[in-house]
Amino acid sequence: MLRRTRTPGDLVTIRRRAEQFLTELATENYTSHAGLSETSHVTAVYARYADLASEPLFNALRNQAKRAKGDERRRAEYLSAFVSRLLAGARTKELVDEQNALEAAAEVAYPWGTEPYRQSALTLANEADRDRRRTMADAQRAVVKQLTPLARAIIDGHHETTRDLGFESYTSAVEEIDRLDLGAVHEATRTFLRETESLHEREMSAAVGERLGQRLDETAKCDVGYLWRAPELDAMFPADRIVHTAERAVRGLGLDIYAGGHVQLDIAPRPKKSPRAFTAAIEVPGRIMLVITPAGGQDDWHAFFHELGHALHYGYVDAGLDFEFRRLGDHSVTEAYAFLLEHLLIERAFLDECLPHELLSAYLRHAARSLLFMLRRYCAKIDYELVLHDTIAKPSETDLAAAYAEKLSRATRVAYDPADYLVDVDPGYYCARYLRAWFFEASLAQYLAKEYGEKWFATREAGEFLRSLWSDGQRRRLDEIETQLGLPHADPAPLIARLRTHLED
């Protein structure tokens, strides 16, 4: 039974406590995933703010949003979405603690030794021997099997929460609460897959033949990390120049990589550190932790520039904005700004100026191939997750593991492991936010080039424009920003055009 508590009569207190909760949760997630602690205390954080996990509070805020207009409506919508996530989090908090603890403590046992599970993805990406990669993937699967029941229980907990809130399905709940048009995103992904199918098959066949010395139909997901790792390109991306180059790039926009001291960098390698780069927005804009795990070469650079986009967005948020606009809202917005910074690394004009190298042309083709693969992977993920959430809610004969492997294998042309069918899922259809962000970012980059020239990244005027967007936090949803700038909604065409520019020269 969900806890009953106050209604929005005391919104000042509710908003203050909501912000405190997010600060404590971000701190906990940072220390756990950055490898600073082997224990996770998410349960304790949720317990301290149990009064916010309230069904009546959600309903009151939802009703308030229906009556209100403008920013008042946005605040109520964003806060009700926050409460819905808190309800799901409160229901699954012990499971999340167990999941984090298992990931941090798990060891992968190979015939030749062991290593931390969180480190194993990086090791696999650097393994040149095909047979050893398959042996390593088999060993990792043993840990995945331990994580799968927890992943299933967490998904079930999210579904139970949306049913308690009166929604017909998890999908309809996400669409209404977050105002996320999953149908429009799904349709755009179908267009993307159709328009890039022959291009992807041609480029993947070439990449696999050149780098792995094998046929595309012999390639498995465990080969992908090494395929895109491309250590021969490391000379172009020295580790000791990442921060310097990023500082120079951001300075060209008239901005500061540390956003006036609000952004801090955590790039130190640790055995228990998550291989997945992330930004911990502990205080917005006051304390933003940018966290990556060094793996070498271009991967480090892409991860750093992506997280830098998040960090600069949060670090340049107007401190006077309402809590809801600084910390809540449409997270597709911050993902778009992250991609904008990251995708400087696939723009020839930027690289010619900031990172010239004899390997540039080879790298650009490689990076475009990798991006196309990732985009098609995420197009398949939303297709699969629509099936997943419907099937879990209404059990049928669908074999979810087989559906996962079939959809991702068909889209990417490499064999995916059915065992990953639940551990490769983020809550709330976050894959759709990534896809929205990718589509918007390509349109935004076109807009910047048109308004400020091909080298917009080196103009203070473009920097001021971006700072004005970032200062607004996530007050406006992505579709509202598109409307403001006169850009199309969820349109894959600019992204397809960018890829063709790199791959059909």
DSSP codes of every residue in 462-474: HHHHHHHHHHTTT
Tokens representing residue 187 in the block: 């349709």
Residue 397's pLDDT is: 54
Contact 326, 472 (CB under 8 A): no
pLDDT at 398 over 80: no
Helix (H) or strand (E) run with residue 478 in it? helix 478-485
Residue 270's pLDDT is: 84
Residue 287 carries which DSSP code? E
Give the mean model confidence (pLDDT) for residues 62-72: 93
Residue 48's pLDDT is: 92
Residue 394's pLDDT is: 66
pLDDT at 213 over 50: yes
pLDDT in tens, 403-448: 999 999 999 999 999 999 999 999 999 999 999 999 999 999 999 9
The mean of the pLDDT values for the chain is 92
Residue 2's pLDDT is: 38
- For 182-503, the fitting CATH number among 3.40.50.1220, 3.50.30.30, 1.10.1370.30, 3.40.50.300 is 1.10.1370.30
Question: Among 196-210, 237-251, 371-385, 412-426, which stretch is predicted with the lowest mean pLDDT?
Answer: 237-251
pTM value > 0.85: yes
Residue 346 carries which DSSP code? G
pLDDT in tens, 274-293: 777 889 999 999 999 998 87
Phi, psi torsion values for 425, nearest 5 degrees: -130, 125
CA–CA distances in Å: residue 187 to residues 237, 268, 370: 37, 41, 23
Peptide bond into 285 cis (omega under 30): yes
Q: Quickly state the pLDDT bin for 1 (edges 50, 70, 90).
A: very low
Q: Quickly state the pLDDT bin for 83 (edges 50, 70, 90).
A: very high
Residue 3's pLDDT is: 40
Which residue from 54, 18, 5 is spatially nearest to 164, judged by alpha carbons?
54
Q: Quickly state the pLDDT bin for 72 (edges 50, 70, 90).
A: very high
Dist. CA 85–CA 430, nearest whole Å:
13
- List, as own/partner pairs, every contact residues 486-489 make where C-beta atoms lie below 8 angstroms and the sequence separation is at least 24, other chains included: 487/440, 487/443, 487/444, 487/447, 488/443, 489/184
Residue 395's pLDDT is: 61
Per-domain residue ranges of the chain: 1-105, 182-503
- pLDDT > 70 fraction of the chain, expressed in percent and rounded: 96
pLDDT at 73 over 90: yes
- pLDDT > 90 fraction of the chain, expressed in percent and rounded: 78
pLDDT at 378 over 80: yes
Which residue from 104, 10, 93 is spatially nearest to 57, judged by alpha carbons?
10
Contact 18, 69 (CB under 8 A): no
List Cβ neighbours of 122 (8 Å cut-off, separation of 6 or more).
275, 293, 295
pLDDT in tens, 3-57: 444 444 588 889 999 999 999 999 998 998 888 887 778 888 888 999 999 999 9
pLDDT in tens, 313-337: 999 999 999 999 999 999 999 999 9
Dist. CA 268–CA 256, nearest whole Å:
21
Dist. CA 392–CA 385, nearest whole Å:
10
Give the mean model confidence (pLDDT) for residues 132-138: 96
Residue 6's pLDDT is: 45
Runs of H (alpha helix) within 34-69: 42-48, 55-67
Contact 426, 154 (CB under 8 A): no
Dist. CA 250–CA 257, nearest whole Å:
6
Tokens representing residue 246 in the block: 């990023």
- β-sheet with 278-283: strand ranges across: 263-266, 287-291, 278-283
